[in-house]
Amino acid sequence: MMARERGGGMTGSGDVAVHIEHLARSLMQKQEDVAAEEQHRTMVSRHRVSRVPARHRDSNPDAYTPWFVAIGPLHNREDRRLRPAERLKVAYLNSLISRGHPDPTHHLAVIQEYVRIVAGREQEARAMYASEEVVDIATDDFILMMVLDGCFIIEHLVNVATARDEPSLHATPFGPTQLSVDLILAENQMPFFVLVDLIASTKLPEFECMGYPAPVLLMKLVLYNFAGEKGRSMSEELLAAEGVSHVLHLLHEMVTAARTSWWRPIPHILDGGWEQAVRRLVRGLPSLVLAPLLRWIAPEGRRGHVREDVPSASDMKRMRLEFKKARVRGITASVAAIASVMGPVPLVVELTDGDYLVLPQLRLEFRTAPLLLNLMAFERSALASAKTLSDVSAYMCFMTKLVQTAEDAGLVLAAEVVQQDGSAGNQSIEEVVRFFRMVGAASELAAGGELLTSSYLCVLVEKLRERSRSWTYADRNYYTFLAEFVALVTFVSGVSTILQTYAAFKYH
């Protein structure tokens, strides 16, 4: 009896020991999973996909929301307006596989390979998003989402690069245009490494003869979609695919790099001739002479009340500055490419020959505001350790200060540094003013008042401010100086007359 009890007790102890070991192993596994996820999250935390803060989103929610296709887990793909794209994803998966495998009996094996690849990097992919966004998504659902979204993007990029018709996409009103916007939304991104892995496992006969490695091919396809041939040629100048977090990150890299790689300034004197340069010099000579003189003789009290902000377009006109749109020689970006709305040389702002402010031609259309707002949202979400991470925000902050009134809008439209599609006359001018107020508010929220002084525009801004100071001194003191000078001449003339009269009487 006691033996049985002792034996039974030993059995009970063994069960407890097994249970404890099971719990310990389970806890250890959870600990390892969390540690691995946190490690992945730390590696990609710089450019993680997250929701745009409410204070930015509330002013223009449509600019951050997909209206045709949801990519990634942040937007509900069951939304009625997004359902057609979900069906289109399945069709694009089939057409992508069919490119290299015309026999449908091979399709299952290809899909299994896609699933296996994504499953192997699920934790890394989840780490690209805030944990609260993906914690409730089951493993199977997450993997299928990555496969469908990734294959849809790749098939669309290949169609664009090969000029292949997409009848299902064009059947949706504004489908292609809206898709080009949805793919660059800050909240609508997926890990770039998943796209690389998927395209590496896809047979694409159209590109086999080129011999590009999968990461290079993907970057060229994405860049061509953004900016045509000019974009595709930039793949060697940008960071390697391993350093790209998502499609919006690559777009930002391309736009900021284009400012220096596409822009080759041509001296205006060579372009316009010496006669124009001489005429400008003669026209501005009185002001160039008077401004420093008046600044030197102006009373101290008057010197302190000079506006330190960037002058507006109308102010620059009074300062005898003219606007000139940047031009480049060579291949131009396709108008259908979304980056083309930022002009042939995005973000270029330069002061040439002292009298010309060179700016890219910013085309205002359906895609412009979402493009700029989401590029700035990306800059806000990224760590500010790289100098280029505020370039778009700085450019828009500068343009907002340049265009503040209807007069300013009229000047930039006349100079063609801003182009308004589909509008004319006063309506166009009012829309331009509204656009810069709306986008400018986001740029100021992005980095505050010190944005320009710490950006690539800092030297230019200081030159413009210095010129503004000189012209302000001249403007405020010119007539005072003139009146005082006339009074002085009158006084000297009067004294001279009195002395001459006195000398004449004395002589006689």
Q: Of 175-189, 326-340, 367-381, 449-463, where does mean pLDDT reach its minimum?
A: 326-340
Whole-number Å distance between alpha carbons of 134 and 73: 7
User: Given a cut of 70, is residue 292 above it in pLDDT?
Assistant: no
Greater confidence (52 vs 263) lies with 52
**Parallel/antiparallel/unpaired status of strands 350-352 and 356-359:** antiparallel
Q: What is the pLDDT of residue 359?
A: 93
What's residue 306's pLDDT?
45
Clarify whether residues 281 and 405 are in a common domain.
yes
Residues 171 and 302 both lie in one domain: no
Same domain, 200 and 282: no
pLDDT of 374 reads 95
**High-pLDDT (> 70) share of the chain, %:** 72
Cα gap 203→103, rounded to integer Å: 13
Last residue of a domain, one of 209, 228, 248: 209
b/e map 444-458, b = 16+ CB within 10 Å: eebbeeebbeebbbe
Give dist(CA 147, CA 154) in Å, integer.
11
Going across the sheet that includes 322-325, the strands are 322-325, 356-359, 350-352
**Domain annotation covers residue 321:** yes
Residues 6+ apart with CB under 8 A from 479: none
Residue after which a domain boundary falls, among 191, 209, 227: 209
- Can you tell me the mean pLDDT for 365-369? 93
Instruction: Report the pLDDT value the prediction gives residue 161, as an integer from 0 to 100.
Output: 93
Residues 185 and 305 in one domain: no
Do 74 and 188 reside in the same domain of the chain? yes
Same domain, 291 and 146: no
Q: Is 335 helix (H, G, I), strand (E, B) or coil?
A: coil
Whole-number percent of the chain with pLDDT over 90:
44
The letter for the amino acid at 455 is S
Q: Partners of 423 in the beta sheet?
A: none
Residue 428: the pLDDT is 84
Considering the domain architecture, whether residues 183 and 295 belong to the same structural domain is answered as: no
How many structural domains comprise the chain? 2
Mean pLDDT of 131-135: 88
Residue at 413 is within a domain: yes
Of 318, 334, 330, 396, the C-alpha closest to 360 is 396
pLDDT score for 174? 85
Strand partners for 323: 357
- In this prediction, residues 363-376 reach a mean pLDDT of 94
Q: Can you list the positions of beta strands (E) in 147-233?
A: none
Pick from 278, 130, 161, 145: which is nearest to 229 by CA?
161
Average pLDDT over residues 412-441: 85
Q: Of 170, 186, 209, which marks where a domain is finished? A: 209
**Mean per-residue pLDDT, 130-159:** 95
Give the model confidence (pLDDT) of 297-328 as tens digits. Answer: 445 444 444 455 789 999 999 888 899 988 77
DSSP state of 378: H
Assigned domain for 260 exists: no
Is the confidence at residue 364, as pLDDT, over 80? Answer: yes
Establish if 198 belongs to a structural domain.
yes
CB 360 within 8 A of CB 326: yes
Write the pLDDT tens digit of every residue in 188-242: 999 999 999 999 999 999 898 888 999 999 999 999 999 888 777 787 778 788 8
Alpha helices (H) along 262-363: 268-272, 274-297, 300-303, 313-318
Identify whether residues 289 and 145 lie together within a single domain. Answer: no
CA-derived radius of gyration, the chain: 32
Separation between Cα atoms, residue 430 and residue 436, nearest integer Å:
10
Same domain for 286 and 201? no
Contact 436, 370 (CB under 8 A): no
HSE, CB side, 13 Å, CA atoms: give it for residue 206.
16
Domain span including residue 88: 54-209
Mean pLDDT of all residues belonging to the chain: 80
**What is the DSSP secondary structure assignment for residue 73, as one 8-state letter?**
S
Assess if residue 391 is contained within a domain.
Answer: yes
Q: Are 340 and 433 in contact (CB under 8 A)?
A: no
Tell me: do 93 and 177 sit in the same domain: yes
- Asked whether residue 436 carries a pLDDT value surpassing 90, the answer given is yes
Clarify whether residues 63 and 159 are in a common domain: yes
**Same domain assignment for residues 431 and 309:** yes
Task: Tell me the pLDDT tens digit for each residue of 77-127.
Answer: 888 899 999 999 999 999 999 999 999 999 999 999 999 999 999 999 999
Handedness of CA 305, 310, 316, 319 (dihedral sign): positive
Tell me whether residue 444 is in a domain: yes
- 3-class DSSP state for residue 236? coil
Res 336 pLDDT > 80: no
Alpha-carbon dihedral angle through residues 180, 184, 190, 196, given to the nearest 10 degrees:
70
202 found inside a domain: yes
| Residue at token pair 């040629």 | 233
Q: For 340-349, what is the mean pLDDT?
A: 88
Q: Is residue 41 part of a domain?
A: no
